[in-house]
Amino acid sequence: MTTLEKASHVAALTTSALLCVAIALSFLRPPLGSFNSSHLLGTHIEIPGIEWSQKTRTVLLALSAGCHYCSESTPFYRRLTEHLSNGKGSRIIAILPDDDPTARAFFQDARLDIVYLPNIQFPIFGIEATPTVLIVDSGGVVRKEWTGKLSPWVQEEVISAANSTSFVERIIQWVQSN
Protein backbone atom coordinates (compact mmCIF):
# COMPACT_ATOMS: atom_id res chain seq x y z
CA MET A 1 0.00 0.00 0.00
CA THR A 2 1.45 3.32 -1.01
CA THR A 3 1.69 6.37 1.20
CA LEU A 4 -0.98 8.11 -0.87
CA GLU A 5 -3.38 5.19 -0.38
CA LYS A 6 -2.71 5.18 3.38
CA ALA A 7 -3.36 8.93 3.59
CA SER A 8 -6.57 8.47 1.60
CA HIS A 9 -7.80 5.74 3.99
CA VAL A 10 -6.94 7.83 7.07
CA ALA A 11 -8.79 10.83 5.60
CA ALA A 12 -11.85 8.69 4.81
CA LEU A 13 -11.90 7.16 8.31
CA THR A 14 -11.47 10.57 9.96
CA THR A 15 -14.27 12.06 7.88
CA SER A 16 -16.55 9.10 8.71
CA ALA A 17 -15.82 9.42 12.44
CA LEU A 18 -16.52 13.17 12.43
CA LEU A 19 -19.76 12.62 10.53
CA CYS A 20 -20.88 10.00 13.08
CA VAL A 21 -20.11 12.38 15.96
CA ALA A 22 -22.04 15.21 14.26
CA ILE A 23 -25.07 12.97 13.70
CA ALA A 24 -25.00 11.72 17.29
CA LEU A 25 -24.79 15.27 18.66
CA SER A 26 -27.73 16.40 16.52
CA PHE A 27 -29.90 13.74 18.21
CA LEU A 28 -28.66 14.45 21.72
CA ARG A 29 -29.06 18.21 21.92
CA PRO A 30 -32.44 19.93 22.23
CA PRO A 31 -33.90 21.61 19.15
CA LEU A 32 -32.87 25.20 18.52
CA GLY A 33 -35.11 27.67 20.27
CA SER A 34 -36.04 25.27 23.06
CA PHE A 35 -34.47 25.06 26.46
CA ASN A 36 -35.60 24.14 29.91
CA SER A 37 -35.41 26.90 32.40
CA SER A 38 -35.96 26.64 36.11
CA HIS A 39 -34.88 29.97 37.51
CA LEU A 40 -38.49 30.93 38.36
CA LEU A 41 -39.48 27.66 40.06
CA GLY A 42 -40.74 28.32 43.57
CA THR A 43 -40.88 32.07 42.95
CA HIS A 44 -43.98 34.03 43.92
CA ILE A 45 -45.01 36.38 41.14
CA GLU A 46 -47.59 39.13 41.13
CA ILE A 47 -49.01 40.39 37.87
CA PRO A 48 -51.56 43.20 37.92
CA GLY A 49 -54.90 41.92 36.68
CA ILE A 50 -54.37 38.27 37.65
CA GLU A 51 -55.93 36.88 40.81
CA TRP A 52 -54.18 33.53 41.25
CA SER A 53 -56.64 32.23 43.84
CA GLN A 54 -59.50 32.11 41.31
CA LYS A 55 -58.26 28.73 40.02
CA THR A 56 -56.19 25.86 41.38
CA ARG A 57 -53.59 26.49 38.71
CA THR A 58 -53.00 28.97 35.91
CA VAL A 59 -51.09 28.27 32.73
CA LEU A 60 -49.34 31.55 32.06
CA LEU A 61 -48.06 32.10 28.53
CA ALA A 62 -45.47 34.83 28.06
CA LEU A 63 -45.70 35.64 24.35
CA SER A 64 -44.75 38.41 21.97
CA ALA A 65 -46.38 39.31 18.67
CA GLY A 66 -42.96 39.56 17.00
CA CYS A 67 -41.72 36.19 18.26
CA HIS A 68 -41.61 33.59 15.47
CA TYR A 69 -41.47 30.70 17.96
CA CYS A 70 -44.67 32.08 19.52
CA SER A 71 -46.35 32.12 16.11
CA GLU A 72 -45.09 28.64 15.24
CA SER A 73 -46.45 27.34 18.56
CA THR A 74 -50.04 28.51 18.07
CA PRO A 75 -51.34 25.01 17.16
CA PHE A 76 -50.06 23.84 20.56
CA TYR A 77 -51.72 26.79 22.33
CA ARG A 78 -55.03 25.88 20.63
CA ARG A 79 -54.70 22.27 21.84
CA LEU A 80 -53.81 23.45 25.33
CA THR A 81 -56.87 25.73 25.36
CA GLU A 82 -59.08 22.81 24.29
CA HIS A 83 -57.70 20.63 27.09
CA LEU A 84 -58.38 23.33 29.68
CA SER A 85 -61.84 24.27 28.38
CA ASN A 86 -63.62 22.20 31.05
CA GLY A 87 -62.84 25.04 33.46
CA LYS A 88 -62.56 22.79 36.52
CA GLY A 89 -59.17 23.50 38.05
CA SER A 90 -57.03 25.26 35.47
CA ARG A 91 -57.15 28.27 33.21
CA ILE A 92 -54.88 29.84 30.63
CA ILE A 93 -53.81 33.49 30.52
CA ALA A 94 -51.32 35.10 28.16
CA ILE A 95 -49.18 38.12 28.91
CA LEU A 96 -47.51 40.18 26.20
CA PRO A 97 -45.22 43.23 26.16
CA ASP A 98 -47.10 44.49 23.09
CA ASP A 99 -49.80 47.16 23.13
CA ASP A 100 -53.44 46.06 23.05
CA PRO A 101 -54.09 46.47 19.28
CA THR A 102 -50.93 44.50 18.43
CA ALA A 103 -51.76 41.77 20.96
CA ARG A 104 -55.37 41.55 19.74
CA ALA A 105 -54.18 41.22 16.12
CA PHE A 106 -51.74 38.47 17.14
CA PHE A 107 -54.51 36.42 18.75
CA GLN A 108 -56.95 37.04 15.89
CA ASP A 109 -54.38 36.04 13.25
CA ALA A 110 -53.52 32.92 15.26
CA ARG A 111 -57.22 32.12 15.85
CA LEU A 112 -56.56 31.85 19.59
CA ASP A 113 -59.29 32.52 22.11
CA ILE A 114 -57.19 33.22 25.19
CA VAL A 115 -57.55 35.84 27.90
CA TYR A 116 -54.54 38.14 27.58
CA LEU A 117 -52.96 41.10 29.30
CA PRO A 118 -51.00 43.51 27.07
CA ASN A 119 -48.23 45.93 28.05
CA ILE A 120 -46.62 43.54 30.56
CA GLN A 121 -42.87 44.05 30.85
CA PHE A 122 -41.36 40.59 31.34
CA PRO A 123 -38.05 41.49 33.06
CA ILE A 124 -39.99 42.75 36.08
CA PHE A 125 -41.24 39.19 36.62
CA GLY A 126 -38.00 37.41 35.72
CA ILE A 127 -39.17 36.18 32.33
CA GLU A 128 -36.20 36.31 29.99
CA ALA A 129 -37.44 34.85 26.68
CA THR A 130 -40.53 34.08 24.66
CA PRO A 131 -42.38 31.90 24.50
CA THR A 132 -42.34 30.92 28.16
CA VAL A 133 -44.96 28.65 29.71
CA LEU A 134 -45.44 28.72 33.47
CA ILE A 135 -47.74 26.68 35.69
CA VAL A 136 -48.65 28.94 38.62
CA ASP A 137 -50.54 27.65 41.66
CA SER A 138 -53.41 29.39 43.46
CA GLY A 139 -50.91 31.19 45.71
CA GLY A 140 -49.02 32.75 42.78
CA VAL A 141 -46.02 30.40 43.05
CA VAL A 142 -44.41 29.08 39.86
CA ARG A 143 -44.54 25.27 39.93
CA LYS A 144 -43.39 24.39 36.39
CA GLU A 145 -41.53 26.32 33.69
CA TRP A 146 -40.69 25.77 30.02
CA THR A 147 -39.10 28.21 27.59
CA GLY A 148 -38.79 28.22 23.80
CA LYS A 149 -40.50 26.22 21.09
CA LEU A 150 -41.54 22.99 22.74
CA SER A 151 -41.12 19.54 21.22
CA PRO A 152 -44.28 17.41 20.88
CA TRP A 153 -43.43 15.30 23.95
CA VAL A 154 -42.77 18.41 26.07
CA GLN A 155 -46.10 19.83 24.86
CA GLU A 156 -47.76 16.69 26.24
CA GLU A 157 -45.90 17.23 29.52
CA VAL A 158 -47.31 20.78 29.72
CA ILE A 159 -50.85 19.56 29.03
CA SER A 160 -50.47 16.85 31.66
CA ALA A 161 -49.08 19.30 34.23
CA ALA A 162 -51.88 21.76 33.52
CA ASN A 163 -54.54 19.09 34.03
CA SER A 164 -53.02 17.21 36.96
CA THR A 165 -54.43 17.54 40.40
CA SER A 166 -52.31 16.74 43.43
CA PHE A 167 -53.60 14.58 46.25
CA VAL A 168 -53.96 17.63 48.52
CA GLU A 169 -55.87 19.54 45.82
CA ARG A 170 -58.26 16.58 45.39
CA ILE A 171 -58.90 16.49 49.15
CA ILE A 172 -59.59 20.25 49.21
CA GLN A 173 -61.99 19.90 46.27
CA TRP A 174 -63.74 16.98 47.98
CA VAL A 175 -64.11 18.92 51.26
CA GLN A 176 -65.46 21.97 49.41
CA SER A 177 -67.99 19.87 47.49
CA ASN A 178 -69.34 18.13 50.63
Please check whether residues 161 and 105 belong to one and the same domain.
yes
Please check whether residues 78 and 3 belong to one and the same domain.
no
pLDDT digits (tens, 9 = 90+) for 167-177: 555 566 566 66
pTM, whole model, 2 decimals?
A: 0.72
Q: What is the DSSP string of 7-62?
A: HHHHHHHHHHHHHHHHHHHHHHSPPTTEE---TTTT-B---TT--GGGSSEEEEEE
Backbone angles phi, psi at 12, to 5 degrees: -65, -45
Instruction: Tell me the C-alpha distance between 30 and 152, whole Å.
Output: 12
Q: What residue numbers bound the domain in which 133 lies? A: 34-177
Please check whether residues 21 and 41 belong to one and the same domain.
no
- 130-103-125-138 Cα dihedral, nearest 10 degrees: -100
* pLDDT confidence of residue 32: 40
Please check whether residues 123 and 82 belong to one and the same domain.
yes
* pLDDT confidence of residue 28: 44
pLDDT digits (tens, 9 = 90+) for 106-126: 999 999 999 999 999 888 878
Instruction: Tell me the C-alpha distance between 121 and 138, whole Å.
Output: 22
Q: Is the separation of the CB atoms in 161 and 85 below 8 Å?
A: no
Please check whether residues 3 and 62 belong to one and the same domain.
no
The count of domains in the chain is 2
* pLDDT confidence of residue 58: 94
pLDDT digits (tens, 9 = 90+) for 50-62: 999 999 899 999 9
Please check whether residues 4 and 18 belong to one and the same domain.
yes
Please check whether residues 19 and 89 belong to one and the same domain.
no
Please check whether residues 84 and 99 belong to one and the same domain.
yes
Q: What is the mean pLDDT of the chain?
A: 82
pLDDT digits (tens, 9 = 90+) for 33-51: 444 556 889 999 998 889 9
Please check whether residues 22 and 46 belong to one and the same domain.
no
* pLDDT confidence of residue 21: 57
Please check whether residues 66 and 6 belong to one and the same domain.
no
Region of poorest pLDDT, from 29-33, 67-71, 95-99: 29-33
The predicted model gives 137-147 an average pLDDT of 94
Please check whether residues 77 and 9 belong to one and the same domain.
no
Region of poorest pLDDT, from 21-35, 57-71, 97-111, 121-135: 21-35
* pLDDT confidence of residue 24: 55
159: CATH? 3.40.30.10
Instruction: Tell how many helices (H) and how many strands (E) occur in the chain.
Output: 6, 6
